[in-house]
Amino acid sequence: MRHRLPLRIAAAGLAAAAVAVAARYGFGRDTDATSAFLAQHWQRPLPAQGEPPAAYSALERSLDPAACGSCHVQQHEDWRRSLHSRAMGPGIEWQFHLMTQAQANRCMDCHAPLAEQKALVAQAFAWPQRPASAAPDHVPETLAHDGLVCAACHVRAHQRYGPPPRSGGAAQGAPHGGFVAAAAFEDSRFCAACHQFPPDGPATAGKLHEDTYAQWQASRYAAEGQSCQSCHMPDRRHQWQGIHSKDMVLKALDVRLDLEPGADGRWRAQARLRNVGAGHFFPTYMVPEVTATLTLVDADGREIRTLAQRVIGWRVGLDLDREIDDTRLPPGAALQFDAPLDAAADGSVVELRVDVAPREHYVRLFERSLARDGAQLDAATLNLLRQARDEAAATRYEALRLRAPLRRER
């Protein structure tokens, strides 16, 4: 049986896409030092690091994130808890069992971009284009499963790179020969290498599957000089929080619930959710869904009935062939909806609940794959798929609940 590959949302054509993005957004034009740096830094595919300098200690030679963490303790701990460290997990790895090596490599251009990571995966799957010998000592066997590791952004040919020191001190003279300071690390274009497809990249209904940088570029945040890093790496923290974080969602949304009394004892419940804090669409792409629900509950908190419900998100067909709805909120935009109420007993309460499903598209995708293809998958692949479905579903959470009591005039 020939299996379709449903998750090529962020994978298809990435090697060529990186070049096209560079041309579209200035990476490839020698307009300034940052553009030139990024064009070189984000080559696709990334070249192998090569042999470490002979003077390096074993710790300096290693590409293991834990080796970086021996000195950069806070950065490593932040990264370890971030989604970047989980960019390689069951949700993508189960598909490698159904992909060719070239298809998997395109996924890994962002999910595990080091050449050394790709080599380890190739050996694990016994793909034709794989190294004949075991990985060298500076490449730990776990590196393939570590996702977007420190070295993916900070190491090229064993030379370290990073943002300019905030203290203004010299960048040289430290372990591993110091580092090269580059302003590009504080520029939104640095993130666009993975978070922006080129104009001719994978799209549905003419809308790119990855379009976050362009959304930001069109917002007031770009004009005001607020970069991606301003929100997602505050104080240079390596957390990259987004829709999976309740705190980030509450910073992005201004949520209001109002009750207006009307004639004959009737009421009208009004809800408004405005994107006041995200410098791009909320949510930015097709995977998450945010559901706002108006509910009438009694004095004991028991639900009487649902009054109204709206979904914020970009829902597309599971085969990415059609758009079902797009209710995302651009920066500054709002969703408003209301519901009429008959007279209710004193003590009744209207609730506005905001629920977030960060991986809802994937949940539905994985469930369909299990139902349609599960019987044809080998045990290892099926186990990964089930784990991917369960992990995606477990990310759902309640972000906010507002309550407004109904009180009749006496």
Residue 225 is predicted with a pLDDT of: 95
What are the structural domains of the chain?
14-195 (no CATH), 246-358+395-405 (2.60.40.10)
Cα separations (Å) of 191 from 22, 170, 224, 234, 409?
A: 12, 26, 18, 15, 56
- Looking at residue 301, its pLDDT comes to 84
User: Per-residue pLDDT averaged across 151-162, rounded?
Assistant: 97
- Cβ neighbors of 298 (< 8 A, separation 6 or more) are 304, 345, 347, 348, 349
Eight-state DSSP code of residue 47: P
Confidence of residue 25 (pLDDT cuts 50, 70, 90): very low
The answer to whether residues 122 and 130 touch, using CB atoms and an 8 Å cutoff, is yes
Predicted confidence (pLDDT) per residue in 317-335, tens digit: 999 999 999 999 999 999 9
The span from the CA of 311 to the CA of 13, in Å, is 31
Give the per-residue pLDDT at 116.
Answer: 97
Centre a 10 Å sphere on the Cβ of residue 258 and count the other Cβ atoms it contains.
14
Q: What is the pLDDT of residue 219?
A: 97
% of residues, the chain, pLDDT over 90: 81
Render pLDDT for 373-398 as a digit per residue (tens, 0 to 9). 999 999 999 999 999 999 999 999 99
Instruction: Fill in the amino acid letter for 23.
Output: A
Determine the average pLDDT of the residues in 29-45. 85
Highest mean pLDDT among 161-170, 218-227, 297-306, 334-343: 218-227
pLDDT of residue 9: 37
The pLDDT of residue 263 is: 73
Average pLDDT over residues 22-34: 55
Q: Do 308 and 287 form a contact (C-beta atoms < 8 A)?
A: no
Sign for the pseudo-dihedral over CA of 210, 212, 217, 220: positive
Instruction: Measure the CA–CA gap between 4 and 369, rounded to whole angstroms.
Output: 9
Q: How confident is the model at residue 168 (pLDDT cuts 50, 70, 90)?
A: low
pLDDT given at position 181: 94
Token pair listed for 331: 């920066």
- Cis (ω within 30 of 0) for the bond into 45? yes
Task: For residue 282, report the phi and psi dihedrals to the nearest 5 degrees.
Answer: -115, 115
For the CA atoms of 239, 274, 406, 263, what is the dihedral angle to 10 degrees?
A: -170
Q: What is the pLDDT of residue 409?
A: 54
Exposed, middle or buried, 340 (CB in 10 Å: 0-12/13-18/19+)? exposed
Q: Which residues pair with 295 in a beta bridge?
A: 306, 351
